[in-house]
Structure 1
Amino acid sequence: MFGYVKSHFEGAVRLWFSPARARQVAALCYRKTRMGKQVLLITSRGSGRWIVPKGWPIDGLSNCEAALQEAWEEAGVEAANVQPTPVGHYRYDKYHASGDITPVETEVYVAEVDGLAKSYPEDHQRKRRWFSPEDAAERVREPELKAILRGF
C-alpha cells in the first residue's frame, strides 16, 4: 500500500514541478504519387538526424502559416496548401550548444506540397528527402511523431 501511495505522490510532484514546455510549430509536408503519399523529411543542423521542418511561432502569422514559413526556410517548400488545424503534437527536448535543455511541445500541421525550390535559405545546412509515411516514422526519434506519421 505504501509503495502505491508513494509512486502516485512522486508522479504528482513531478507533474506539479515539471518545467513548462516551450511551443513550436511543424509542417508535415507531403505529396501524392502513384505509389501513395510521400512525406518530406529534413536533417537537423546539429546532429543530422531526420526531422520535420519546425520552429518557433512567428508574430503576425498564425501557427499553420508559421509552420509553412519554416518549411520554406528549412526545406524549400515554395507552395503548399496547409490545414489550419493541427493533426497532432509531439514532445522532445531541445539541446543547446550551451548544454541547456528546453522541453518543447510541437504542434504539427499537414501541408500538401505543390513545389520545391532548388535554392532556399538553409539548403547548404540540411538534406531533404521524400519517404513513405512508414519509412519516415522509422527515421524520426520522437515516439509521438512516429505515431502521427504512421497514422498519416
Structure 2
Amino acid sequence: MVTQLPISLHGGAKGSARTQFAGLCWRVRRGKVQILLITSRRRKRWIVPKGWPMEGKTPAECALTEAWEEAGVIGIASDACIGVYSYARVREGNDSLPCLAMLYPLQVKSLQNDFPEMRQRRRKWVSRKKAARMVDHIELKKLILGFTPPVQALAA
C-alpha cells in the first residue's frame, strides 16, 4: 500500500489546478521490474510521460497516447489509477500552473524508434529504486517505489 502525501497547489488557488494523465511505463526483465523514464523537453529533468485530457478518451488512454508521443511506447494501459502527484508546470514567461497528475500503469510491449518527440527527449530503463532517485517529485517517487505489477506479469 502506498502512503499518500498531501498535495500542493504550488501557490495557486484551488480553482486554478489542472489535471493531467501520466503513464508509469514498466516491464519485467529477468524477474525485475523496470521503469521507463524520459527527459522533459526544456529542462531535461527525468519524468514520466504525461499530458492533458483528450476528447473521447479515457484517462488511461490519454496516458498511453502521451507515452507513445513522448517515448514511442506500444503497450497496455491499466484503467486503475495508482495515485496522484502534484507539481508546478513552468510556462513561458516563468509563471507556473499548479497541476495534479493521475498516474496509470502502462505495460510496455515494445518501444518504437520513430515517434513524434524522438528528437526532443531521451528515454531510459531503470529499476524502481533508481527511477525514484531520478525524478524530482516526492509523491511520484513514492508511487514508483510502491508500484507492484500484476502477479501474472511477474511470472511471464
Q: Which range, TM-score by smaller chain?
A: 0.7 to 0.9
Contact 1:19-1:103 within 8 A present in 2 as well: no
- Looking at structure 2, the residues matched to 37 and 85 of structure 1 have their Cα atoms a distance apart, in angstroms, of 18
Q: Identify the residue that residue 46 of structure 1 maps to in structure 2.
A: 42
**1:111 maps to what in 2?**
106
Question: Could you tell me which residue of structure 1 aligns to residue 133 of structure 2?
Answer: 138
Question: Secondary structure at 2:54's aligned position in 1?
Answer: coil
Secondary structure of 2:94's counterpart equals coil
Task: Report the 3-state secondary structure (helix = DSSP H, G, I; strand = E; otherwise coil) of the residue aligned with 2:92.
Answer: coil
Q: What does residue 6 of structure 1 align with? A: none
Structure having the larger proportion of residues in helix: 1
- The alpha-carbon deviation at position 89 of structure 1 amounts to 0.7
User: Are the aligned partners of 2:34 and 2:128 in contact in 1 as well (CA < 8 Å)?
Assistant: yes
The answer as to 2:71 corresponding to 1:75 is yes
Structure 1, unpaired ranges of 5+: 1-14
Q: Does 2:123 match 1:128?
A: yes
**What secondary structure sits across from 1:61 in the alignment?**
coil
Aligned-pair distance for 1:99?
2.0
Is 1:148 the counterpart of 2:127? The answer is no
Structure 1 residue 85 displacement after superposition: 1.4
Pick the structure with greater CA Rg.
1
Name the structure 1 match of 2:24.
28
Distance (whole Å) between structure 2 residues aligned to residue 99 and residue 150 of structure 1:
31
Q: Partners in 1 of 2:139 and 2:15 — Cα distance? A: 19
Unmatched runs of 5 consecutive residues or more in structure 2: 1-10, 148-156
**What is the TM-score of this pair, normalised by structure 2?**
0.84
DSSP 3-state at the match of 2:108: strand
Q: Secondary structure at the match of 2:66?
A: helix
- After the TM superposition, which parts of structure 1 deviate over 2 Å for at least 4 consecutive aligned residues? 17-20
Cα RMSD (Å)? 1.3
- TM superposition shift of 1:81: 1.4
Letter of the 1:52 counterpart: V
Q: Distance in 2 between matches of 1:68 and 1:87?
A: 15
Size of the aligned set, in residue pairs, is 136
Over residues 24-53 of structure 1, what are the superposed CA-to-partner deviations in whole Å (9 max), with x where a residue is unaligned?
000000011105000000000010000000
Instruction: Report if aligned partners of 2:16, 2:97 keep a CA contact under 8 Å in 1.
Output: no
